[in-house]
Structure 1
Amino acid sequence: MIVERLAESVARRPCDAIAFSGGLDSTAVALAHVKLGHRPLLVNVQLAESPGTDAPHAVEAARRLGLPLVVRYVPMWEALAAVEEVVKAIKLFNPMEVVNCSVQYIALKLARDLGARTVCTGDAGDEICVGYSFMLTKPREELARYMDPSRWYFCSFDLAKALGVEVKAPFLEAAQHLLAIPIEEKIKCGLGKCLLRQELGDLGQRRKDPAEVGSGFHALYKTLEELGRKVEVDLPLDGPARYLYHIYRKAGLSYPKARRNPCPRCGAELDDKRYCKMCGYYGGG
């Protein structure tokens, strides 16, 4: 059901490459291509100094799908250079957003440099298929609000513009049909992505790892924190956000301060859960 809908999206315009973690979302997108007879290049990114959990899963999934795979081991200096470009592209200094999006930035750049003009991602798979563990415990009404596409943001589109490539997100393109599947069906087995796991069979047994863990880029947090101690900033920021804000300001970027519900650290507007997308502050208790 899900892969079939993804294949309908892929059929309109297949991708030359897929940002591939070997997780359920990117595997489903790759399988949709295979079912239509396409052989996109799979690209995976790892931090050379501290590889994550993705590579073995990506290698095995690529083998079983019969698709070519390139795994790029990126040195720390290159990852930090990507961080700077990501801050400029997404205009945030939120550590979680920037670190995870840096993985995507390098994957898109790698695909582009290998000749791809259109790159597919697994964006929206978690939101649509109830992939995050916290979604399983949300009250139904709150979960339904969270699964509203108007609330979602995927940095891959902004990064693609900066890199001169096109990004496609088959899950997002099929969102209208996939969101019509009852939530109860998506969580009936007690695990995230219940239906997708069933469709993928042996390829759908992997646990959920965020991009920063799968790529090893979570090691960047410590380095960014150390760099932050060496710079002066005009906001009460600490940890990685301090250095990311330094990059943000050095790039000549600014943002409006909130008149209502301001973040106590950066002054940007908090959402209804007291989370600041700009700097990553969370005061929700």
Structure 2
Amino acid sequence: MDAEPEYIRNMLLDVLSSEEALACDAVLLSGGLDTSIASEAVKLHIDNRDDSKLRTAITLTIDPQQNSLANSNNLFVQEPQDVVYARRIAHRLCLEHHILTPTLDELLAGEALDMCVRVLGTFDGMELRNAVVIATALMQAKKLGCTRVLTGDGADELFAGYSFMHSMNDDDLPRYTKNMVKTMSFCAFPLAADLGIKVWSPFLDPRVVEYATSDRGGLKSIKVGEFDGSVHGKLVLRKAFPEVISAARKKEPIECGSGTTVLPKLAELLVSDSTFQQEKREALEKYDLVVRDKEHLLYFRRFRAAVLDSPEALARMKRYGPDDTCPDCKFRLKDGSSFCNVCGLYPARPISK
């Protein structure tokens, strides 16, 4: 094994032998590389692994046959793949595997979506398509009596898991990664806190963050390259744990792996053009806020009830500040960010070159 993969392998095995890791009693098992490494390392490679409390895996997948409207309009290009890999991992590790198969209607009108909108303070479609999967899984963990949940958060941000990072050079990628560390956030943490449980990710350990942003571990050649015949991000992680089931799996966003990627297309079928135009106009006139498409409208309805029509909730969010506000929704932008976490507008401020 090369020096860098061996270095990060030993580091992660050390992180995953910590009390925080061994206290995790469930894993949100997407079946991607990150949760594959985290769960398989805890169960198969750590000395005294019997001390680990990890017994439960939770995976959410959309059944293409459950929604007649989506099915009849051929919205599903392929079956969601998370469950395919997650089944193999759970079986290998002898985990009690809970596969959640909510309908699309339940995700668009259920308790999990309401919690996401309320807790995260957003009606951004990209965020909610992913967050509703996490929220549904965390709610199941709570029902099962789990108290500390293992995730793979942070690996994509730190190790160039996103495809747009692959074209960056050895000067731009470390700079971008360091900036991302300053602003990155993960919905699992506030959602879990709202439920009274905790989440933990080995990739957010300070030692891993320091390595991934250092001169030693920050180079593109460490993070992006060929593995098993294809070019991947997170190369050093794949080389460090070539034996895990998802070592060669391509990166898929949560919405693709779980199947919620069809929600924008479903919204187009659920909302008529006349209704969209009417409610879009009302949102602008009454709330001074831009609704951009039909999926956005479905989430805005929830946001309106949870935030805009609630004086207490609205008071907690900064709107109409003197500067740094989103032109579409008028909520305060995060310092240094060109992305609006509330409505999802990008760019919400000019991008400096």
TM > 0.5: yes
Segments of 5+ residues of structure 2 without an aligned counterpart are: 1-6, 67-75
2:77 maps to 1:44 = no
Q: 2:327 aligns with which of 258, 264, 281?
A: 264
CA contact (8 A) 2:40 2:89 kept: no
CA contact (8 A) 2:211 2:218 kept: no
Residue 44 of structure 1 aligns to a residue whose secondary structure is: strand
Q: 1:242 aligns with which of 297, 303, 322?
A: 297
Is the deviation greater in 173-182 or in 205-214?
173-182
* AA partner of residue 154 (structure 1): F
C-alpha separation between the residues in 2 aligned to 1:178 and 1:16?
27
CA contact (8 A) 1:128 1:178 kept: no
Q: How far 1:161 sits from its partner (Å)?
A: 1.1
Q: 2:236 aligns with which of 192, 195, 204?
A: 195
Q: 1:59 aligns with which of 76, 81, 87?
A: 87
C-alpha separation between the residues in 1 aligned to 2:9 and 2:99?
25
Who is 2:69 aligned against? none
Deviations 1:62-94 (CA, angstroms, capped at 9, x unpaired): 233443322111123331211111000111111
Residue 344 of structure 2 aligns to a residue whose secondary structure is: coil
C-alpha separation between the residues in 2 aligned to 1:164 and 1:95?
26
Q: How far 1:245 sits from its partner (Å)?
A: 2.3
Deviations 1:131-179 (CA, angstroms, capped at 9, x unpaired): 1111111244442243232211111111001111111111102433432
2:339 maps to 1:275 = yes
C-alpha separation between the residues in 2 aligned to 1:246 and 1:142?
40
CA contact (8 A) 1:186 1:195 kept: yes
2:34 maps to 1:4 = no
* AA partner of residue 22 (structure 1): G
Q: How far 1:46 sits from its partner (Å)?
A: 1.2
Is the deviation greater in 65-74 or in 257-266?
257-266
CA contact (8 A) 2:174 2:218 kept: no
C-alpha separation between the residues in 1 aligned to 2:218 and 2:154?
17
* AA partner of residue 302 (structure 2): I
Q: How far 1:98 sits from its partner (Å)?
A: 1.3
Output aligned runs, 1:216-227, within 5 Å: 216-224=259-267, 226-227=270-271
Q: How far 1:221 sits from its partner (Å)?
A: 2.4
Q: 2:223 aligns with which of 186, 199, 224?
A: 186
Cα 1:244–1:197, aligned 2, differ >3 Å: closer, same or farther? Answer: same
2:25 maps to 1:16 = yes
Is the deviation greater in 168-177 or in 86-95?
168-177
* AA partner of residue 205 (structure 1): A
C-alpha separation between the residues in 2 aligned to 1:12 and 1:18?
16
The TM-score with structure 2 as length reference comes to 0.73
Q: How far 1:104 sits from its partner (Å)?
A: 0.6
User: Max radius of gyration: which structure?
Assistant: 2
C-alpha separation between the residues in 2 aligned to 1:241 and 1:26?
30
Q: How far 1:21 sits from its partner (Å)?
A: 0.9
Q: How far 1:3 sits from its partner (Å)?
A: 4.2
Q: 1:97 aligns with which of 116, 123, 127?
A: 127
Q: 1:153 aligns with which of 185, 208, 219?
A: 185
Q: How far 1:258 sits from its partner (Å)?
A: 4.9
CA RMSD of the aligned region, Å?
2.5
Who is 1:209 aligned against? 252
Residue 70 of structure 1 aligns to a residue whose secondary structure is: strand
2:137 maps to 1:107 = yes
Q: How far 1:223 sits from its partner (Å)?
A: 4.0
2:113 maps to 1:83 = yes
Cα 1:212–1:24, aligned 2, differ >3 Å: closer, same or farther? Answer: same
Q: 2:146 aligns with which of 116, 126, 129?
A: 116
CA contact (8 A) 2:319 2:325 kept: no
CA contact (8 A) 1:3 1:32 kept: no
C-alpha separation between the residues in 2 aligned to 1:98 and 1:258?
25
CA contact (8 A) 1:33 1:40 kept: no
Residue 201 of structure 1 aligns to a residue whose secondary structure is: coil
CA contact (8 A) 1:93 1:241 kept: yes
What fraction of aligned residue pairs are identical, expressed as a percent?
A: 29
Residue 193 of structure 2 aligns to a residue whose secondary structure is: helix
* AA partner of residue 186 (structure 2): F
Residue 268 of structure 1 aligns to a residue whose secondary structure is: coil
2:39 maps to 1:30 = yes
* AA partner of residue 56 (structure 2): L
Segments of 5+ residues of structure 1 without an aligned counterpart are: none
Count of residue pairs the alignment pairs up:
285
Q: How far 1:237 sits from its partner (Å)?
A: 0.9
Is the deviation greater in 260-269 or in 117-126?
260-269
